[in-house]
Structures are given as structure tokens and as C-alpha cells.
Structure 1
Amino acid sequence: MSNKPISDLHNHPSLKPYGNPAEIESIWDFFKNNKPKDYFKDISPRKWIINIVLKKMATYSQSNLDSCFQGNNRLVFCSVYPIEKPFLKPYRPFSKSTGVHRFILGLIFGKKFTKNNIDVDKKIVSLLSGISLKTASRLIDPIHDNSITTIDYFYDYILEYQYLLHASGTTSKNVINGMQPKFQLVKNYEHFLETQAQDTICGIMTIEGMHALGVYNKQDLFETAEIETLPLERQNKLKLAFIKNIEAIKKEEFPPFFITYAHHFNNLLVGHAKSFMDAKGTFDPGFADIFDQTIGQDLGISSFGMLLIIDHLLSRENGQRILIDVKHMSVLARKSYYDLLQNMREKSDALKDNVPVICSHAAVSGIDTLANALITKDSFNLDKNSYVSIWDINLTDQDIVEIFKSDGLIGICMHDGRMPGNKFRKLLKKADEEITKKLHVQMFLTNVFHIVKVNMAYIRKVNKTRTTSKINEIDAWKTICLGTDNDGIVDPFDHYNTAAHLPAFRAKITEALNNYVMPEYQGFNVINLPSETQYSLKEIDDLMAGQPWEEAIDKVFYNNTDAFLRKYFSKDYLLQKEDDLIL
């Protein structure tokens, strides 16, 4: 098995240990979440149903640093995520659900916000995320306390950032592969080159959700879609908080490299895509039945949201540049952002002025354009007859081309909740361990080769119009990397469900490509979207652009990310002035 380094563009190594310091000694340690029997002592339908739900989720550490080191994950993008308040407030009394689902959810959560039911919420959040009941209480109690009118996500962000800051420079208490691993946050590419070593995991700070920099009036957070519709006094107060907090994080010792601008719920700045699954059957309610994502969903970027991007995050006048991650953005928001960058490129073609698009933990839909993605509403039935999910949150071919044109980066996730359509799920249900592994490799490679195919078609189209400065076809591979979303409260690939399993996953990908035409891989070859036929070996070879399998796989698992950082994480590009940082 290869011992080459692996990078992961999006994971959450600090979420569990920061949220549960009493039970998790350090960021290095593996932890299994508590079980329903630990919180619900009596035999009950509630406990039985919760057990069924939790079997689909990763209720254990996926990216604790010992697991990362075991999996050769030497470059970890540490995503800080202050848990959104609507994620902590079930949509009681579940009035939009069917009668059967309403009954089931009533058994689990109760239909009213009573003290007992709020205590149930805390236990379920703890079971799902691995944070302690104490932390769950600290996060949930203010939602229901009428004397508290402010939600300060920036305070939550600072606490988790400080946890990572204190973890930086620490050493594992275990010896792994003859070495005692170290962890070090890095602030730029030059620092990374000085720090990287066989025994060292390097970490890069990122943020998931622009809400992390907001200090909200609680009522506004739950009831208002756009910042411009707030009463002027509250509007100005929130705007000032965002501006001040961006200035603050740009002065930190380790400023975030990029920020995922949207997330699951409304942040009053930008529309988010639907991300929670609908019910899958009569007796199987989905997350969409439990939590209300509708406020702000599918909107574009607000005027102030765009101003924050241009004049504050991307600006180098107030500190170093912070890039934008378009994952979770609505279709309209992504379109607006791409148009902005196109206008910027037309004004300057200098590398230092270029702004690459990041999509940190993505999957593809196979839909050709953003306009066509908007035609049908996201629902369980939309994916009923498809191999991959065609929901708006997943990348269209137009997204892929825009990211390529920007010299950007796409981290492909490993997520059974986000990637598959129902055709794939049906295959997975009846699969044994070996077939499950082959199916997950097939799903991952389907995403990889679809991005390559779209990029290649764009390159060949452009090259037809050029006599010089033609784009090298091998560049079709340069935008692809790994973005697992480990520890992000996900439904991971079975058998490849922690960072420690990444080398085995890479080895299985190599096996699948080396044995592409062998009988044991018939039916498990890469799917060509949107036709859902399987690529022939000749078609695969054409997309390889003359490089061997191993070279392409190394690009996806590490080399593309390294090349991207060399350009866009450098002091010169960021315009990072060490004297301005808090050291």
C-alpha cells in the first residue's frame, strides 16, 4: 500500500474534542459518541428509532489526528464550524410532514418546546455530533431563553479557533509507524515548506459558514431572509459586526485561507442550497422533516453580502486575502459569484489578481447548466431514477467550467448522503463488503472523470480557436482533489469511513483502474454522465491525456492541492504582512 502523503481540503478535526473536552483528552484521540442507551434508559420507540438513524451516520472520530497520521494525511484543512442555531431547534410541530412522519417525529422529539423535549434535543445533538451534553446545553439554552436576544457566532468561532491554536505544536502520545507524530498549523505556503516533515501533520485554517463572523439579533436569525430588510438600526449593527470580525480574523496568527460562504441555514447574506434529505419512505422521515431550511434558501447574494466579498474578504487593503468556497451556495448565488470573477479577470490577467473558485467538499450532478438545474425542485423523487444526486447543491457542468477558468479547486467528498441518486442506493442496500467497496470507488471515480471530461471538452473547444498558447490537455486534471468532510456529521463511505482508511481507498482506486477490463470489475466501471453508460477503456485512456493511472491518482490525493497552495497560499499572493499578524 502506498505511503505517499494525502491532503484533505475539508474536514473537522476539532469539532468533537473542542465540544467534548471532558471525554476527549486531545485532538489526537479517537472517540466513539455516546449511544442512545446512555441517555435514554427505558425501552422506548424513541430509543429504537434514534438507533436506526444513527446507524447511517459517523458517530465516531473520523479525522482525529492519530487517524490522519495513520492514513498518511499530512495536510489537513481544519474547518471551524459554529453549529447553526436552526440545526439545534427541530421544526416542531413538524406541520409540513405527512401524518405518519409527524407521528414518528413526535415520538422522537415531542411536538412542543417543553423542558423535557428540549432536553431530548440536547441528547440527540450530542449523539449525532459527539459534543458533550454540557456543550449542547450551552448552545441550545439561549435559543429558548427569552431574556437572551443575541446570537454571537463569532464567540463560538473564537473558542474553537483557540482550541486549534493550543493544539498546534502538540505531539501524539502514541508511536505510529515508528514515529511520534506532531501537529502544526501553518500560515502560508512558505511556512508549510519549512514545517512539512514525515512525522508532521500540517494544518490550514478554514471556516464553514459566513454566519461564523456574525453577531445576530436572535429574532432576525430565525425570521429574516436578507440583511437589507432588517430595521436600519439592527441592519447597521449586524453589518458593523461582520466588518469588524473580518478585520479581526485577518490579524490572527493563522488567518483562515478560505471561508465557505453559505451553509445549511440562512445567514442573511447569501442564499443556500437545500442540503437535508427528504423522507425516503412512509416510515422514514428525513432531516428536511426535522429542520427548516426554507428561510433564505435559493436566494442570490445580497448587496451587502457581495460588498463583504469584494471589499473585505477578497480585499488586501484590510489584511491578507481570504478566498471564497462556493459549497452550499444556491445556484443563483454561485452564478452571481462567477459573474463577479469573470468581470475581475477581464480587468486583469495577472496571476496575483486572479481569484480562484474553491468548492471544498463537492459532488457532481451531471446537469449541463445552472439554468437547467433550476428547472426542477430538489426532492427525493428528483433522484429516484438517477445514479448520482441531481440536487442543486451538486456541481453542474457550468460550475465545473467556471472553476476551471478561475484556476480553482474542487474537493470531492466521500458522502453517501450527498453523492448518490436512488439507483446507486438500491445497489448499495443489497451489496456485500467487497461489492460495497467497488461501488464506492465507482461513485468517486465517476465524479473524478466527469470533472475531467467537462474540463477536457472546454480545453478542446478553446484550443480550436487558438493558434498559440493552447491549453495542455493534462490540465483537465488540475482542479480535482479530496475533500472528505470527515467529522462533519456525515454518512460516510462504509469501509473507508475515517482518515486512517484513505490509503486503502487509494489502493482500491488503483486496483479498479488496473483491472478495468477484467471480469471482476464488469458492472463497476466508471459511469459516464448524464447517459449513465459505462466508459470504455478507450474513453478512459483518452481522458487520461497520456499520463499513467498512478500519476493522476497522486494529483487527486495530494499534488493538485500542493500546486494550488504554491500559487494561492503564498505570502505574495495573499499579501500577508507578518508584522500585522498577532503572534
Structure 2
Amino acid sequence: MDTFVDVHCHPYSKPFGQGQPQGRQSQDKRNKTSIWHHDPPTLGDKLVNMVLSLTRFRQTDFTASGRGNVRVIVNSLYPLERSFCRNKLGTGLPADLPVNFVTAFGNNYINRVQAITSSDAYFTELCEQYAFMREMDGKVVLLSGGQKARYVLTKNYEDLEALVRNAGSPDVITLAVMLSIEGAHAFSCGIDNGSVPATILENIATVKQWAHRPLFITFAHHFYNELCGHAESLTGALKQALDQHEGLDTGFTPLGEAVVRALLSTENGPRILIDIKHMSEQSRKHYFNLLDTEFSDQDIPIIVSHGCVRGNDTNRNQYHDHPINFSDTEILRVARSGGLFGVQLDERRIGSERALKHARGHIHRKDILFSWAELVWSQLRHIAEVLDKENLFAWGTICLGTDYDGIVNPINGYWTHREFPELEAYLMMHAHKYMRNNPPITNGFNQLHEGEIVARFMGGNAIDFFRKYYR
């Protein structure tokens, strides 16, 4: 069995939220503040998810990850934005209840975020989340059946390689955990336009000196951060309750450009790469222009850590054609930069209503797994065909970036990391059928065996990327 990699998920989020106000991680896996606390979805959880699109169970608790053979995890730290908890119902109990019901973070955490008065609180929390992850770094826990397991925070690719090489040890299951950040508001900006540029730059330099520095940052997120515009990201009840309009679909600010320069610089510490997910289309174009003008002589890959495609004029009715997803031009841009495109396993992003309707309605588990894996395969296929048409390697950019435990609506059947072996198996079926049926892949170097295609997606491409850039 291959080693699986998830380049964007939030395993710390529910235990950290449940652990407030202490913010400590328990060494007892039965405690909800443990990242190993196993909370698989019940039948009721699945029904609530399918009817209300709510995911209250844990998708990436490390017990599920270990059992699903997910051995490399990019844990995305995210100080929850104040605007997520200050909704149109105010900040009292009537406002707390729906936010907690959607996120399962706990009322103590929600109240903490509602009380934020300064963007400095974001950086404070970022450091607390890092400390939370360090508490159980390398410590062995005992899973059911007597299996020993641990997670280890990595500092560079050499760390990662050594852990992956020994991850299959029968004695101790080891998960290699890397860090990323979601939202540059984490460096102390985004509250009432009151950011202090010197403080932001100082905080960036501090993070670059962490023992386990983040490899990349998702620069924008749900709300305006004073740095760049964001794409609309909320749907359903959250869209009705929360206001994303400030900064929506706008471009970069001068402060945002300065922050990008500080992140990409190697003079203030190791480079932190930029993930363009959640940026507005205008901001993405602006960032590409910065790369073309100020960084044209440098090897800087473009990352989409958790995204989906928009499709084109020939197949747009199969995909979710929305600015938060990515155009063919942007896909080519990622590939030509040597970047990564992590496919997000979120029902709201992965297909058009027509495609989702086709996937729904199955009763037998094997039919559910087959039909929803087809939506994932459709993402891979589209990216491959776009790249092949431009005589580029078709299968080297794609990877998994689930966004699990990031308030997503997972595709049916693949509820948690535990189901990754099934995802691999069913993707293999779709890839086999595609490659044996005269696909519109014209370049011989793209005519790969289905096993290699799926192995690249499930982990190989991400490992290759880390080998080059995680130094």
C-alpha cells in the first residue's frame, strides 16, 4: 500500500477549540482535546451531513489518519477570523449556538474569538496553535488493539524522508506532520483596518525562525485581511449569516505586496511559499504579475493547496463554475511554475449541480464510493487534458488537499482519512477505464499506467514537491 499525503487539512482545530480556555492537548486519546480522539461519523452524523451539509464529526483525527495509511499531513494552522463569530445575530448565545453547531469548536473558543479587539490576537493564537501541536510531538499513544502510534513535527525534507521510510514499522505507526498557515491575517492584520506594517513584518520573521517553519501560507481566507481581496467562499446558511463583502473580489494593497515580499524573501529566514486559494481572481492575477516582474529570476512554485477546476466551454456543465475555483489558464500557470494543485474533497466545490445530482441517490456502499470517486477523477482528468494539450506533463501537478476539518462538506462515502484506501481503489477503476478507452491524451509521455497516475495523486507528487522545496 502506498503512503498517502494530504497537503491541506486541520486536524488540530476541533481539539484546540474544545480545549479552551486552557488550550492544552490531552495525552489521553479519550479526551476531546486530544488530536488522537477518534470520532468517526455515526449513521446520524452522515444523515445530518447529507441533509444539512454539516460536518460535526472529526475527519482527520490522527487515529483515522493512521488507519487510513495517511502518513504525511500538512496541518494548516488557522486563527479563526472574528467575522466568522460575529454574525447578523450579534455576539450573544443566539449567535453562538449556530456557529458552534456548524464548527463543533466549543462555546469557549467562539466567545474568545468574538471578544477580539485587536488583530494582535490572531498572532497570539497562531503561536498558541503551534505550541498545541508541539505538546504531543513525538509522544507515543496507545490505540485500540494495543497499536502504538505517534506524530512527529518535521523541520525539513530530510526529517520527512526518514519518517516516511520508517512509517510502516509494526511497532509504532508514525505520522509525519508539516505545518502551513491559512490566512495571512494570522500575522496581525484584518481588524478594523488597524494593522501596523512593522508588527506584521516582525511576526513573519518570528515564524520563519520556528523550529518547524510553515512551508506555505494560504494568503487570503474568508474575510478581508487588509492585504488582498478574497473570493466568495461561504454558502447556504453561513452565507446568509455572515458578511464577506468588504474586500470581496478586489486586488492587492501596497501592504499586501510588502507582505508577499517578506514571505518570499530569503533574507529574513527561509522562504514561505504562497498558496493562492481563497484569493480573488484579481488578486491572483496581481500575484502572478509580481512573480513575473520582481521574482522572474527565482524558482517560486505556485500552490493551490485545496482547490477544484472551473472547466471550460466544452465541459463547464460538469464543474462548479465559480471564482473560488480555478480556470485552465491558472492550472497551466501552476504547472509551469512546478507547483502543486491539491484537489479539495468538498461537495460544494467539486462539481456542478448536474454532476452532484448524478452522483447522489445510490444505496449500496460500493456504488456510493464509485460514483463520488468519479467526481474526483473528473478533476484529475480535466487537469491532465489541459496540460497535455499544451505538451506539458499531465500527471505531475495533482495531489490531495482535502480541507478536512475545515468546515467542509465532504463528498459522500469519503467522510474521513480512514477511507483513503477505498478512494485509491476506486480512482484506480476510473483511471483504468479512461486510459484504456482512447483518451484525448496525445503525448506519449503522458500515457501512464493507471497505478502510477493514482499513486502520484495520492502522495507521490506531493513528496516530490517537498523533496525540492522543503529545505
Judge which range, 263-272 or 335-344, deviates more: 335-344
Q: Does 1:188 align with 2:188?
A: no
Q: Is 2:276–2:284's contact at 8 Å kept on the other side of the alignment?
A: yes
Judge which range, 385-394 or 299-308, deviates more: 385-394
Q: Which amino acid aligns with 2:93?
A: D
Q: Post-superposition shift, 1:345?
A: 6.1
| Distance across 2 between alignment mates of 1:51 and 1:504 | 23
| Distance across 2 between alignment mates of 1:435 and 1:540 | 27
Corresponding position of 2:467: 566
| Distance across 2 between alignment mates of 1:215 and 1:268 | 7
| Distance across 2 between alignment mates of 1:261 and 1:338 | 13
Gaps of 5+ in 1: 37-49, 93-108, 221-233, 278-284, 369-382, 460-472, 517-525, 527-534, 571-583
Runs of 4+ aligned structure 1 residues displaced above 6 Å come to 50-54
SS where residue 76 of structure 2 aligns?
Answer: strand
Corresponding position of 1:402: 333
Q: Which amino acid aligns with 2:357?
A: K
Corresponding position of 1:334: 284
| Aligned mate of 2:260, from 286, 289, 309 | 309
Q: Does 1:6 align with 2:4?
A: yes
Shift in CA distance, 238/53, structure 1 to aligned 2, threshold 3 Å: farther
Q: Which amino acid aligns with 1:77?
A: V
| Aligned mate of 1:366, from 297, 306, 311 | 311
Q: Which amino acid aligns with 1:183?
A: Y
Corresponding position of 1:300: 251
Q: Does 1:491 align with 2:409?
A: yes
Corresponding position of 2:36: 28
| Aligned mate of 1:159, from 119, 122, 128 | 128
| Distance across 2 between alignment mates of 1:25 and 1:307 | 37
Q: Is 2:369–2:422's contact at 8 Å kept on the other side of the alignment?
A: no
Q: Which amino acid aligns with 1:539?
A: P
Q: Does 1:510 align with 2:410?
A: no
Q: Is 1:17–1:26's contact at 8 Å kept on the other side of the alignment?
A: yes
Corresponding position of 2:186: 212
Corresponding position of 2:446: 545
Shift in CA distance, 214/150, structure 1 to aligned 2, threshold 3 Å: closer
| Distance across 2 between alignment mates of 1:426 and 1:555 | 29
Corresponding position of 1:203: 177
TM-score with structure 1 setting the length: 0.73
Over aligned residues, Cα RMSD in angstroms? 2.7
Shift in CA distance, 321/78, structure 1 to aligned 2, threshold 3 Å: same
Q: Which amino acid aligns with 1:338?
A: F
Corresponding position of 1:70: 67
| Distance across 2 between alignment mates of 1:354 and 1:159 | 32
| Distance across 2 between alignment mates of 1:121 and 1:509 | 41
SS where residue 394 of structure 2 aligns?
Answer: helix
Q: Post-superposition shift, 1:408?
A: 0.4
- After TM superposition, the structure 1 = structure 2 runs for residues 146-295 of structure 1, keeping only pairs within 5 Å, are 148=117, 152-174=121-143, 179-196=147-164, 197=166, 198=168, 199-215=173-189, 218-220=191-193, 234=194, 238-277=196-235, 286-295=237-246
TM-score with structure 2 setting the length: 0.89
Judge which range, 64-73 or 124-133, deviates more: 124-133
Q: Post-superposition shift, 1:340?
A: 2.0
Q: Is 1:364–1:395's contact at 8 Å kept on the other side of the alignment?
A: yes
| Aligned mate of 2:379, from 415, 437, 447 | 447
Judge which range, 535-544 or 292-301, deviates more: 535-544
Q: Does 1:557 align with 2:458?
A: yes
Q: Does 1:479 align with 2:391?
A: no
Deviations 1:188-208 (A, max 9, x none): 101212333222100001000
Q: Is 1:326–1:359's contact at 8 Å kept on the other side of the alignment?
A: yes
Which structure has the greater CA radius of gyration? 1
Judge which range, 544-553 or 71-80, deviates more: 544-553
| Aligned mate of 1:136, from 86, 110, 117 | 110
Q: Which amino acid aligns with 1:357?
A: I
Query: Identity of counterpart residues, as a percentage?
Result: 28
Deviations 1:339-397 (A, max 9, x none): 22233564x3xxxx3000000001000147xxxxxxxxxxxxxx9x9321100110100
Q: Post-superposition shift, 1:161?
A: 1.1
Corresponding position of 2:26: none
Shift in CA distance, 342/201, structure 1 to aligned 2, threshold 3 Å: same
Q: Is 1:33–1:130's contact at 8 Å kept on the other side of the alignment?
A: no
Q: Is 1:54–1:128's contact at 8 Å kept on the other side of the alignment?
A: no
Q: Which amino acid aligns with 1:161?
A: Y
| Distance across 1 between alignment mates of 2:189 and 2:202 | 11
Shift in CA distance, 354/242, structure 1 to aligned 2, threshold 3 Å: same
| Distance across 2 between alignment mates of 1:507 and 1:391 | 30
Q: Which amino acid aligns with 1:538?
A: N
Q: Post-superposition shift, 1:425?
A: 2.8
SS where residue 477 of structure 1 aligns?
Answer: coil
Q: Which amino acid aligns with 1:361?
A: H
The size of the alignment, in residue pairs, is: 451
| Distance across 2 between alignment mates of 1:446 and 1:32 | 27
| Aligned mate of 1:426, from 342, 349, 357 | 357
SS where residue 219 of structure 1 aligns?
Answer: coil
| Distance across 2 between alignment mates of 1:457 and 1:331 | 24
Q: Is 1:75–1:202's contact at 8 Å kept on the other side of the alignment?
A: yes
SS where residue 141 of structure 2 aligns?
Answer: coil
Deviations 1:11-40 (A, max 9, x none): 001001111138514111123799x9xxxx
- After TM superposition, the structure 1 = structure 2 runs for residues 13-92 of structure 1, keeping only pairs within 5 Å, are 13-21=11-19, 23-31=31-39, 55-90=52-87, 92=88
Q: Is 2:182–2:221's contact at 8 Å kept on the other side of the alignment?
A: yes
SS where residue 317 of structure 2 aligns?
Answer: coil
| Aligned mate of 1:417, from 348, 352, 360 | 348
Shift in CA distance, 387/541, structure 1 to aligned 2, threshold 3 Å: closer
Q: Is 1:152–1:215's contact at 8 Å kept on the other side of the alignment?
A: no
Q: Post-superposition shift, 1:130?
A: 1.9
Q: Is 2:310–2:320's contact at 8 Å kept on the other side of the alignment?
A: yes
Q: Post-superposition shift, 1:536?
A: 8.3
| Distance across 2 between alignment mates of 1:502 and 1:121 | 36
Q: Post-superposition shift, 1:541?
A: 6.2
| Distance across 2 between alignment mates of 1:428 and 1:4 | 27
Shift in CA distance, 499/52, structure 1 to aligned 2, threshold 3 Å: closer
Deviations 1:77-114 (A, max 9, x none): 00011111111122x3xxxxxxxxxxxxxxxx5xxx3x
Q: Which amino acid aligns with 2:211?
A: E
Q: Post-superposition shift, 1:418?
A: 1.6
Q: Is 2:226–2:255's contact at 8 Å kept on the other side of the alignment?
A: no
